Structure 1
């Protein structure tokens, strides 16, 4: 044992010497190539003296990188990720300038721009050299990650062991629908996935709840309950709060409610890791988990994943360069789309190129690296979300060339993880799934010239912008008010009898929510007709709207649609009436949402064209999800053949039960089949609604 320890120490010293020597040669080469990078005095030096200067500079840069860089990155954990990515080059260049200033007699000199280039090249070369040496050193990288994992377990009081069965990695490809995945496989865009289907994995489709978006789906998948999540964003009358699924405070509250309802911490409570998710799933190991974004304890800060990744300056430089390239790629693609006059098309300027680059580069790199670390550390269950496709498809369309290129890059990440799984200390099963799909289509505003909020205000006789007045939809809505009130409605005139608040109109893809804050309870159809007599008929008969859900004093709740259609929720049926084109399970999905305590006064689902698969998003998205209609409701589940068949899956809570069953198959009875107090809402309606 002692001899082995000395051998390892000697190998470590040798690696340092070799990396130092290669870095010195790199610095000498750069000094010869770059005119603004100098390693000798103005009078000239001997080759030996220049080599010594380069060795001194390379050593100082390497030492500063090892000691100072991690401290700087840790100090910047509170800086937004986009800013951190842009600072990478500046920080690395600054360390090089500091290293050059430590060379005796001032022989090292470079301007700021050259320092950035030299630092980037030297970091990349040093990282590549170290990686090449580590391959020959008996899996040194694996041992290092295992030691770090053991150290964290000891600090947290865990025993650090596992049953010896296979671990499970759940990889979520955000927004990739079942149809999109099949098309990508058929067109050769995802060869890794294609090699799995039928050979090692089975492919199934599942159906989301009415709210087909990450907040509802991932909460149900990770925590076993997405009860009372009617949309991506909604207004809660009892607290006056606007809940938004991707806000840290809202995500934390939704996770708290789910845990309280089920009595269970989540899918990942047994030695789990949560990476890039909205919710933790009960995992101890967290990176980029939104519900924990406000935590500042030293073990589980949600941004600790940034530190683990960016602590290696080579990672930082590589990701920063890819980030800049992705920004350029987006600018080029959006420019070509505008010149071609593609339709539908939305604006893609402002901060979007930076947001896209974060989703497709920074988030991907950090999450994939964190998952690799989890696999080498032998964790039992890992759940990671890769959001790249979803972000791009919103702006470029789910079947566009931009989105296809993202799928290709995601497939390469899957291939990397599959290769890593061949060298980890325990066997891993990789389960691939999505949380929803996306449905294409022109935005509601693009098709009709006004927003849903404009239409609601026009149908209520409230002031609307002039652009909305001039549209056909706006004019028709105001005409309807005139007819109902038997008098003209002038701009700025109030038709309301008292000091009632304006409606809160929110959009979640092609799902709209209308709430009246001054009424503490859920308003009824009769109350709405007394306050705004033309509103419901205006909405129901608009060609861009498929159906409405509203409570009725006479029939409980009803679904309204064009032509005076009115069906009590209890009598709703799939493939007929207002839900004729919305597919199997639509009626149950509407009934379930109707039982939620915080369902809006009026729930609005856009039209759906079954021939084209198109919907109209109520926000600026030409690929959208959030309501019913088309591919958005049909994500996929790709599972290993040696796991039990999933069966028919309806809703995210079904997926949670299936994933928990698979963990039990791997880990045994220590994983309960269901959360201890879980309520199956489809069998037991909520009596409090």
Structure 2
């Protein structure tokens, strides 16, 4: 039953008064304990006058925060999000100085003191407002909507006051979290992820699925949201016809990949009906966007991706809380890195420079913005929401998939999932929450740390080209150079005469070698003619598991050590199968990649320890993904038991495109009527012509505005 307007207005007035009083008392207390902050003139004033000054100052600060702060944040939308997080303290302190200057003899504060005072006042006012709204569902719902920046589709009144509607679906992607790690995090009496563990014991079911060869977010998420990852061989690759380097998480590259996917499928994406995309590389066809990379490069009013930052940071208390957490995360990472060095932990990678700030952005800022946006979507009654939480993946790259550092991140992610689930109780429709990941992570020391040279140095040595001094001094580098000289029949101390410098790129433990001056896919025979030592040097290196090349005579061929070969087109195997030990479906995944127009001239996969699943990343990562080997290829699906299982025969889905089909099927599995036309529920419908209720089951393209 809807509350009378006078009671709602009275409750709001009471909350404003209480927050104002607490802020005034906070201002008085800070003036008493901080030496550089005064609320009275130098000649002294009465206690009453001082309290009145504090009340006026708190009121002015609150009004400026409500009126001016959103304008400041909107003006700073073009500032990088990392910089915006660091500016929060300065902006809040500046508002306090302005507020004190607006009242007669309001007080004095040094700039650095004003920053502290403003942060404390924002925190106390936020805590007070939240406490007063705990028993008030309407206030709680309004606050969450405001924090999420929702201006359309607001719902008033108690849940369920409109007729039944079909349930909505929320897909929460826990980036980089493998199936086995999730199992461990939800096991035992005191699991790391208590919320998810409770779901597993009651309402949800869990299964792993198998990634494509390119086990990384770009390939997986493009297929999950748009139904195809055709011609996406790695996280980054070189395209000869244009001379472009495509990197999946660059705005221009993400936009191009999404354009290609839509052109191939003829469908806008998983979220094309009343959907929201939050924190993803691709939009999925959603109209509601926040922190979506594929639209981040756009300019003008049509780019609403950065609006997610405005929606979150427009609340000064919210901005202050996140900024404090950001600073704490920087300190936490610095301490954890120092502890790792002191203890001599191995493997280990460098974690200095900007990394502490990058980690803080991923684990704090992006998490908070995405969670607030998803909560707003729930309260607005969106039909389908897909959000990516990247915190675990970022920390696991530098600390390892099972390190204590990642355990802390998993606990915080579990709390975020719980917050979203709690907010769903106040939504105007019932929601089904699906958890999934795009890939796992495989541990292991880097290729460079283990062998003293990088993949690029090894390739150059195999081509007889100069290599870095470090690689030349290492045992592995010297061996590679000598092997090249022997194969080239060169005298010692003389380099080979390679005709082109190859482009060598890394995507986790997957490497790509391209010869830019040779058009098209260079055949094995041509590589052997130009660089006779290259393929033997790579295939026989102990840190490399296998190579993929295209033979003019035999088609797709996988090369391994000691002359081993696997002819994928005919199935013929020479010696020991190079793909043995890389899991079921390895041959199929490699064969599929060989058919991509932009597959590299040589595709290189690192070795994998069959006992531990450890791999050697060609990047500086001790938890990596991108190729085959270990747990990186086993992400998970965790779905409500009311939905049908991914496969009727119980098999694990193979490839992200199959998982996309499962997600589409789940969107169509509803147990109630659609939102009716007319009446209060019209608030929940997007503006414009009415689209189809759900994507067609047969994948055909239909007019979505009919």
TM-score by length of 2: 0.91
State the alpha-carbon separation in 1 of the partners of residues 558 and 221 from structure 2: 27
Unaligned runs of 5+ in 2: 155-161, 675-692
Q: Is 1:165 the counterpart of 2:166 in the alignment?
A: yes
Which residue is 2:614 aligned to? Answer: 614
Which residue is 2:508 aligned to? Answer: 509
Contact 1:145 1:377 in 2 (8 A): no
Contact 1:177 1:437 in 2 (8 A): yes
Q: Deviations over 1:431-462 (max 9, x none)?
A: 00000000011100111000000000000000
Which residue is 2:661 aligned to? Answer: 657
Q: Deviations over 1:392-429 (max 9, x none)?
A: 00000111111111111111111212222222221111
State the alpha-carbon separation in 2 of the partners of residues 461 and 333 from structure 1: 42
Contact 1:223 1:281 in 2 (8 A): yes
State the alpha-carbon separation in 2 of the partners of residues 654 and 138 from structure 1: 40
Which residue is 1:82 aligned to? Answer: 82
State the alpha-carbon separation in 1 of the partners of residues 232 and 217 from structure 2: 11
Which residue is 1:189 aligned to? Answer: 192
State the alpha-carbon separation in 2 of the partners of residues 582 and 194 from structure 1: 30
State the alpha-carbon separation in 1 of the partners of residues 263 and 164 from structure 2: 29
Contact 2:152 2:380 in 1 (8 A): no
Q: Which of these residues, 670, 674, 679, is aligned with residue 694 of structure 2? A: 670
Which residue is 2:680 aligned to? Answer: none
SS in 2 for 1:578: coil
User: Aligned-pair distance for 1:17?
Assistant: 2.7
- Bigger drift between 137-146 and 85-94 goes to 137-146
Q: Which of these residues, 365, 371, 380, is aligned with residue 362 of structure 1? A: 365
Which residue is 2:497 aligned to? Answer: 495
Contact 1:503 1:517 in 2 (8 A): yes
Which residue is 1:267 aligned to? Answer: 270
Which residue is 2:159 aligned to? Answer: none
User: Aligned-pair distance for 1:572?
Assistant: 4.4
Q: How many residues align?
A: 667
Q: Deviations over 1:536-595 (max 9, x none)?
A: 011001100000000101101211100101221124499971111011110110010000
Which residue is 1:590 aligned to? Answer: 590
Contact 1:217 1:435 in 2 (8 A): yes
Contact 1:546 1:607 in 2 (8 A): yes
SS in 2 for 1:21: helix
State the alpha-carbon separation in 2 of the partners of residues 80 and 550 from structure 1: 41
Evaluate the alpha carbon distance shift between residue 480 and residue 137 of structure 1 in structure 2; reply closer, same or farther with a 3 A threshold: closer
Evaluate the alpha carbon distance shift between residue 137 and residue 486 of structure 1 in structure 2; reply closer, same or farther with a 3 A threshold: closer
Q: Deviations over 1:135-189 (max 9, x none)?
A: 45551343577799885469xxxxxx99811111100000000011111112511
Evaluate the alpha carbon distance shift between residue 138 and residue 412 of structure 1 in structure 2; reply closer, same or farther with a 3 A threshold: closer
State the alpha-carbon separation in 2 of the partners of residues 458 and 2 from structure 1: 76
Matches within 5 A, 1:51-450: 51-104=51-104, 106-143=105-142, 151-152=151-152, 164-187=165-188, 188-298=191-301, 300-450=303-453
Evaluate the alpha carbon distance shift between residue 107 and residue 422 of structure 1 in structure 2; reply closer, same or farther with a 3 A threshold: closer
State the alpha-carbon separation in 2 of the partners of residues 180 and 576 from structure 1: 31
Contact 2:171 2:434 in 1 (8 A): yes
Contact 2:57 2:106 in 1 (8 A): no
RMSD of aligned residue pairs (Cα, Å) = 2.3
Q: Which of these residues, 447, 451, 458, is aligned with residue 461 of structure 2? A: 458
User: Aligned-pair distance for 1:484?
Assistant: 2.4
Which residue is 2:548 aligned to? Answer: 549
Evaluate the alpha carbon distance shift between residue 401 and residue 461 of structure 1 in structure 2; reply closer, same or farther with a 3 A threshold: same
Contact 1:218 1:435 in 2 (8 A): yes
Contact 1:397 1:440 in 2 (8 A): yes
Unaligned runs of 5+ in 1: 155-160, 679-689
- Bigger drift between 566-575 and 185-194 goes to 566-575
State the alpha-carbon separation in 2 of the partners of residues 199 and 341 from structure 1: 42
Contact 1:657 1:674 in 2 (8 A): no
SS in 1 for 2:169: strand
Q: Deviations over 1:481-539 (max 9, x none)?
A: 22223222646x4513xxx4310000000000000011111000011011101000110
Contact 2:296 2:303 in 1 (8 A): no
Contact 1:481 1:489 in 2 (8 A): no
User: Aligned-pair distance for 1:295?
Assistant: 2.4
Which residue is 2:629 aligned to? Answer: 629
State the alpha-carbon separation in 2 of the partners of residues 137 and 397 from structure 1: 43
Contact 2:178 2:634 in 1 (8 A): yes
Which residue is 1:687 aligned to? Answer: none
Q: Deviations over 1:6-34 (max 9, x none)?
A: 55444434433332222212212222222
